[in-house]
Structure formats: C-alpha cells, structure tokens
C-alpha cells in the first residue's frame, strides 16, 4: 500500500463475503433444520442460490482474507508463484505467456469434441466408448501389473535406503507443518469422488459382487466382499499412481534443477536442457488434457449430487438453470481460491476440508450402526491384506474391466496434476516421508471413510431400514442420490446431511483450485510464472467443459476420453520409475543412506548395552 490510510482490496472483499456468509447462513440454517417453519415460501432455485451463496461466501472469505506471513512461503512460491498485473497485462499474458501448443491443442480437442457431440451425438458417443472399452480390455492386465509395480516401488522407497534422501538438501526445512502438508496432498488428490462414491460403491458391489469372491448377490458374504473391494479401489494401489509420478518430479526439481513440469520425469533420458523437446511438450499437453477432462467431469458429477440433495431436503427440483448456477458458483470460489495463492485460499480451504471430513466421519460412526461397522470393517481390513496380491492381478472378467481397470486408468489420468502438486510441496521432506504421506496416510484416511460410510450404507440396506438401491434405480441408476436416504435414516440426519452437502462443495473446490493452478503452470512458457489472467482462463475453461458435459449429456463419454489419457500416463509411470532408479543409482550410489530396517537394528544393541551398564539391583 502506498499510504497508511489506503484500503486493501482484499480486506474489502473479505468483509463483503463475510456479511454475505452471515446473512445467507441465517436463512439457510433455518430453512434446512426447520423446513416446516419456512414451508414452500421459496422455490428450488432460490434455495439453491441461497445455499451456494452461503457455502461460496464462506470459502471465498477464507481465500480473500489477507495473510501477513507471506515471506515464510517464499521458497514454495518460487515454484507455485502467481504473477500480478493490470488488466492489460493480464490479457496480453493469455496470448504471449502461454506455450502455444500446450494452450491450443487441449482447447482445440475439447471444442472439436463438443462440436461433434452437438452435430452427431450418437456417432461421437459410440466412437469414443468403443475406443475406450477396447483400450481398457486390451490394456487391462498390463495396467493391473503397472499398478502393482507402483505399490512395490513405493514400498521400496519407504523401507529402503533411498527413502532417507532429503529433497533439496539436508539443510533445507519443510515450508509447511506436517498436518498442513497432509491436508494439501489429501484434499488435492481425492476431490469429491470420496463423497460421491463413499455411500454408493460398496452398495453396487453388494448388489453385483466381484467375481473373485464368488458369493451370492445381496448375501451376508457379499457384505465383506463389497467392503474389501471398496478398500482396494481407494487404497494404496490408487494413491501409488500419484506418488510414482510426483516423487521423480520432486527429485529432479530439487536435486537437478528441472522445471516444475510433468515432463521433468524425462530428465534421466534427455537431461534438463532437453526438456524443451517436442516429446516433453507432448507430455505436458497430455497432462493438461487429462486434468481438465478429469476435473471438469468430477464437477459435473458432484453437481448432480448437490442438486439431488437440495431436492431431497426441500422437495423442490432446482430446475434447468440449477446446474448452471451450481457450476458457476463453484467456479467463482475455486478460481478465487487459486488466484489467492497456495498459502491463502488453497491452504486454508484444505485445512477446513480435513476438519469437516473428520467431524462427519466421527459423527457418522457415533450415530450409525457402530458395532456392524466395527465388526465388518475389521474383517474387511484383514481380508484386504490377505487377498491384496491375488486381487491385484485378478483379471479376465468384464466386472474387473468395468471397475478395477477403469479405476486405475482414472487415477492415472489425475496423476499428472496431483503428482506435480505433490512434488512442489515436498521440498525439505525425505522421500520416505513423501511416500508415507502420499500413499500410507492418505489411503488410511480413505479406508476409514469407506469402511464407516460403506458399512453404514450396507447395514441400512441389508436390514431394510431404507432401500437405497431402489432410490438409485428410481433416478435411472444415478449414484448421486445414494447418500441422502442413508443419512435421513439415522439420528441427527439433518445435521449429517448439511455437513455432507458442505463436504461436496469443499472437496471439489480443493481439487479444482489446485488443478487450475497446475494447469496454468504447465501451459505457461518455461521459466514464466502463470498470471492471474491465465488462472482465470483455465478455471473458466474447466467450468465451461463441466457445463457442456451437463447440458449436452456427454458426461460418460468425456469420462471415457479422460480415462484414455490414463493409459499413456500408466506407461509414463513405468518410465518414471525406471528413470528414478537409474538416476538414484548414478547419483546416490556412493552416499550413505539408511533404511528403516537398519535404523531399527542400530537401536537394538544400544538397548542391550544400556542394560549391561546398568543392571537391575536384585538386592532391593
């Protein structure tokens, strides 16, 4: 500020958002917890608008609130920094600061796809789905093997001597505390998928059990099989896809001076100076395409879930304009969060998300069928460990293709942006800590969630307290409605449903804001930080793709397109793992690093020596 009396625009915006939050919150809370008091005075679109204003202004307040300790984040900001400027500079950056290939090709592909979806929708849908199904069926077994190799690779880094390597040097301290580090990684990589599939996936496996277990549908044995596969699809195998992309990027960025780009995984083969090659630009372009397709489709899916919740609670449909209002409001929040920077909106909303996530899971466990969840969950966790290796390689059925192979391809399509973000945060962390956090801690959190929520949904369905599968069938098989009849059958159902709707919003924001920032970095020319205009451009483009998915009804086809990028990144993951082994063998082979096993063995003689020096006094 130029003077002591100048008004900070961020403070003014934060103040306005705070008043909007308080005002809309008063109406929403009364209408939500006492719907009979309000009655039918307000329509579905009005309730949707009020709800979005409430959640959006609260999250926007966190993003706009000024922060005085920016100098603490200067090292991380050098990687994830955002350039500021006037309107003319922002507009010129859109043209001149972008890599024309990385900018133009994704825009061209998505525009062509939606153009064909308008002109010849049946032919477009059939062509994409045929290509996707053919790839998943033909590449199914190799993809299963790659994911299992990724798990083994992460285990080797966690327990082996290379896990002792500190990224950036021994004298470098981490920028963030460990809880913040975990929150940022977890919320960026999981999105609202954990909320969308939490109440639904185990129910689908209960209705149509995985063939590996060979149990009858909707039987007692199907409950255990359903929980095991829910753990499998959201556990260490899934999260390893992010780590095997992110850790190599982190090593080359902090140890070799490579740029923060997905294409940096090619460093052992082309060198840092060769990262301007056509192959490198192709990798970054695929990363941008995969990220936009994955995030935009997720926005479209969670919009259905949020709108279903509004209709379920108030009994009024949001109408045709409802999806437009939701996506527009969500985009405004995640763009504001992304523009505010990592240390403000992204970090704060991630922390809030983890708190709400833990509060909801704890409350659900307390008021839900606790003994059922604990007993069945314990059995499922044990069975997951016992059967992990065989189910990791089990193939040969359409069920595995439609569920497991599809899931792995989807996780790999998200790996570029999630892995890049993981790399940017990991300066000053040991590789062992990065693996433990990005694979172990995150999969433990998702595992507990699916055991609690999935166990609750299975208990309610199997006991007849609510027919959730019938509710899904009534909506044409849409999973979006699954959570609401479950929560309404429990004590404190209104509170749980309110927190559930909040989780839908915050989880999606925490992934979309990170994805927007990473895409802006990847699309910018090398050595040029993204501007606010670039972030607004990519955030708006993601929202436009999501709206096109909803309005044109091409969600499943776009999912198939995004999954198609997962296969190339699975192959690139093999390249990344092999390249990192090669680089570490060359550069770390002569250095002393300590494995976990050696650390344990070193402590044992010290314990024995202590007892030898100070024996117990038997006379006493």
Model confidence pLDDT, tens digit, residues 577-587: 999 999 998 88
Please report the pLDDT score of residue 620 as a whole number: 37
- Say if 446 falls within a structural domain: yes
Contacts of 371 (CB under 8 A, 6+ apart): none
The three-state (H, E, C) secondary structure of 290-332, written as one string: HHHHHHHHHHHHHHHHHHHHHHHHHCCCCCCCHHHHHHHHHHH
Q: Are 537 and 94 in contact (CB under 8 A)?
A: yes
Residue 62 confidence (pLDDT) above 80: yes
- Say if 154 falls within a structural domain: no
Number of residues that make up the chain: 620
For residues 257-287, b (16+ Cβ closer than 10 Å) or e, as one string?
ebbbbbbbbbbbeeeeeebeeeebbebbbbb
The mean pLDDT value for 16-40 works out to 77
User: Which range is least confidently modeled, 57-71, 78-92, 182-196, 197-211?
Assistant: 78-92
* Token code pair at residue 606: 């010290």
Rounded to an integer, what distance in angstroms lies between the CA atom of residue 156 and that of residue 137? 30
Q: Tell me the torsion sign for CA atoms 505, 510, 514, 517.
A: positive
Q: What is the pTM of this model?
A: 0.89
The mean pLDDT value for 30-44 works out to 65
Residue 614 confidence (pLDDT) above 70: no
Residue 159: burial class (beta carbons within 10 Å; 0-12, 13-18, 19+): middle
Residue 98 confidence (pLDDT) above 90: no
* Token code pair at residue 518: 């990473």
Residue whose C-alpha is closest to residue 453's, from 234, 116, 200: 200
Residue 395: burial class (beta carbons within 10 Å; 0-12, 13-18, 19+): middle
End-to-end Cα separation, the chain, in angstroms: 73
Q: State the chain's mean pLDDT as an integer.
A: 84
Please report the pLDDT score of residue 294 as a whole number: 81
Model confidence at 133, in pLDDT bands (50, 70, 90)? confident
Residue whose C-alpha is closest to residue 470's, from 454, 455, 486: 486
φ, ψ (nearest 5 deg) of residue 200: -105, -35
Residue 38 confidence (pLDDT) above 60: no
Rounded to an integer, what distance in angstroms lies between the CA atom of residue 364 and that of residue 615? 51
Q: Are 528 and 96 in contact (CB under 8 A)?
A: no
| pLDDT top residue among 447 and 13 | 447
Residue whose C-alpha is closest to residue 567's, from 75, 142, 16, 112: 142
Q: Which residue's entry shows tokens 């090398």?
A: 526
Q: Express each pLDDT in 146-167 by its tens digit.
A: 999 999 999 999 998 898 899 9
- Say if 475 falls within a structural domain: yes
Please report the pLDDT score of residue 615 as a whole number: 47
Tell me how crowded residue 39 is: count the other CB atoms within 10 A of its CB.
8
Across 20-24, 127-131, 205-209, 541-545, the highest mean pLDDT is recorded for 205-209
SS3 (DSSP) at 211: coil
The mean pLDDT value for 112-126 works out to 82
SS3 (DSSP) at 85: coil
Q: Are 157 and 431 in contact (CB under 8 A)?
A: yes
* Token code pair at residue 156: 């080797």
Contacts of 445 (CB under 8 A, 6+ apart): 186, 357
Percent of the chain at pLDDT > 90 equals 38
SS3 (DSSP) at 151: helix
Q: Are 430 and 259 in contact (CB under 8 A)?
A: no
User: Which range is least confidently modeled, 390-399, 441-450, 460-469, 588-597?
Assistant: 588-597
Model confidence at 299, in pLDDT bands (50, 70, 90)? confident
Number of domains in the chain: 1
Please report the pLDDT score of residue 619 as a whole number: 40
Strand-pairing partners, residue 153, are none
Please report the pLDDT score of residue 297 as a whole number: 80
Please report the pLDDT score of residue 444 as a whole number: 96
- Say if 487 falls within a structural domain: yes
Residue 205 confidence (pLDDT) above 90: yes
Q: Express each pLDDT in 489-513 by its tens digit.
A: 999 888 898 899 889 889 989 989 9
User: Which range is least confidently modeled, 47-61, 257-271, 351-365?
Assistant: 47-61
- Say if 604 falls within a structural domain: no
User: Which range is least confidently modeled, 7-21, 117-131, 522-536?
Assistant: 7-21
φ, ψ (nearest 5 deg) of residue 251: -65, -45
Distances (CA, A) of 134 to 111, 114, 137, 157, 402: 24, 22, 5, 34, 12
Q: Are 185 and 438 in contact (CB under 8 A)?
A: yes
Please report the pLDDT score of residue 1 as a whole number: 38
- Say if 576 falls within a structural domain: no
Across 61-65, 83-87, 354-358, 412-416, the highest mean pLDDT is recorded for 354-358
- Say if 82 falls within a structural domain: yes
Our CA dihedral for 252, 254, 260, 261, rounded to 10 degrees, sits at 10
- Say if 523 falls within a structural domain: yes
Please report the pLDDT score of residue 166 as a whole number: 92
Residue whose C-alpha is closest to residue 434's, from 187, 161, 250, 233: 250
The mean pLDDT value for 465-493 works out to 87
Percent of the chain at pLDDT > 70 equals 86
SS3 (DSSP) at 430: strand
Model confidence at 435, in pLDDT bands (50, 70, 90)? very high
The mean pLDDT value for 468-487 works out to 85
Residue 76 confidence (pLDDT) above 60: no
Range of the domain at 196: 9-117+169-233+278-411+435-551
Q: How many helices (H) and strands (E) does the chain have?
A: 29, 0
Rounded to an integer, what distance in angstroms lies between the CA atom of residue 96 and that of residue 450? 46
The mean pLDDT value for 96-124 works out to 80
């Amino acid at each position: 500020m130029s003077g002591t009396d100048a008004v900070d625009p961020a403070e003014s915006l934060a103040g306005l958002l705070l008043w909007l939050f308080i005002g809309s919150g008063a109406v929403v809370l009364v209408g939500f917890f006492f719907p009979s008091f309000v009655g039918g005075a307000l329509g579905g679109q009005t309730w949707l608008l009020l709800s979005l204003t409430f959640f959006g202004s609260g999250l926007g307040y966190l993003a706009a609130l000024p922060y005085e300790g920016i100098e603490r984040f200067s090292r991380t900001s050098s990687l994830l920094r955002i350039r500021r400027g006037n309107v003319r500079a922002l507009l010129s950056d859109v043209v001149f600061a972008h890599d024309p290939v990385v900018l133009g090709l994704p825009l061209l592909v998505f525009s062509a796809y939606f153009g064909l979806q308008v002109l010849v929708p049946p032919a477009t849908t059939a062509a994409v789905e045929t290509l996707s199904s053919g790839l998943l069926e033909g590449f199914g077994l190799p993809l299963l093997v790659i994911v299992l190799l990724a798990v083994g690779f992460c285990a080797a880094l966690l327990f082996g001597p290379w896990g002792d390597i500190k990224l950036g040097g021994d004298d470098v301290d981490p920028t963030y505390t460990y809880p913040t580090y975990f929150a940022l990684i977890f919320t960026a990589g999981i999105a609202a998928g954990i909320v969308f599939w939490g109440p639904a996936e185990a129910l689908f496996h209960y209705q149509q059990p995985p063939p590996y277990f060979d149990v009858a549908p909707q039987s007692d044995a199907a409950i255990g099989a359903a929980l095991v596969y829910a753990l499998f699809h959201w556990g260490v195998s899934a999260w390893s896809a992010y780590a095997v992309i992110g850790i190599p990027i982190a090593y080359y960025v902090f140890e070799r001076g490579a740029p923060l780009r997905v294409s940096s995984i090619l460093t052992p083969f082309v060198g840092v100076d060769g990262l301007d090659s056509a192959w490198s630009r192709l990798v970054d372009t695929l990363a941008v395409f995969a990220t936009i397709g994955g995030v935009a489709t997720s926005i479209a899916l969670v919009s259905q879930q949020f709108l279903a919740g509004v209709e379920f609670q108030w009994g009024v449909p949001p109408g045709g304009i409802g999806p437009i209002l939701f996506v527009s409001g969500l985009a405004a929040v995640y763009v504001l969060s992304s523009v505010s920077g990592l240390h403000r909106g992204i970090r704060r909303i991630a922390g809030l998300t983890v708190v709400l996530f833990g509060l909801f899971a704890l409350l659900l466990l307390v008021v839900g069928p606790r003994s059922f969840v604990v007993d069945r969950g314990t059995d499922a966790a044990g069975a997951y460990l016992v059967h992990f290796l065989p189910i990791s390689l089990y193939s040969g059925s359409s069920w595995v293709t439609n569920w497991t192979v599809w899931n792995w391809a989807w996780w790999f399509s998200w790996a570029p942006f999630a892995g890049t973000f993981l790399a940017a945060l990991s300066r000053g962390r040991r590789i062992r800590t990065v693996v433990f956090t990005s694979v172990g801690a995150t999969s433990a959190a998702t595992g507990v969630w699916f055991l609690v929520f999935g166990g609750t949904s299975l208990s309610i369905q199997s006991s007849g307290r609510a027919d959730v599968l019938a509710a899904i069938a009534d909506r044409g098989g849409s999973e979006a409605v699954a959570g609401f009849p479950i929560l309404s059958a429990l004590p404190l159902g209104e509170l749980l449903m309110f927190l559930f709707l909040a989780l839908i919003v915050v989880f999606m924001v925490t992934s979309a804001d990170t994805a927007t920032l990473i895409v802006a970095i990847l699309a910018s020319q090398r050595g040029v930080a993204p501007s606010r205009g670039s972030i607004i451009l990519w955030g708006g483009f993601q929202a436009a793709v999501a709206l096109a998915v909803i309005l044109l009804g091409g969600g499943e086809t776009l999912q198939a397109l995004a999954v198609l990028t997962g296969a190339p990144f699975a192959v690139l993951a093999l390249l990344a793992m092999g390249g990192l082994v090669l680089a570490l063998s060359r550069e770390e082979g002569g250095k002393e690093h300590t494995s976990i096993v050696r650390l344990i063995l070193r402590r044992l003689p010290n314990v024995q020596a202590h007892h030898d020096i100070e024996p117990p006094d038997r006379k006493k």
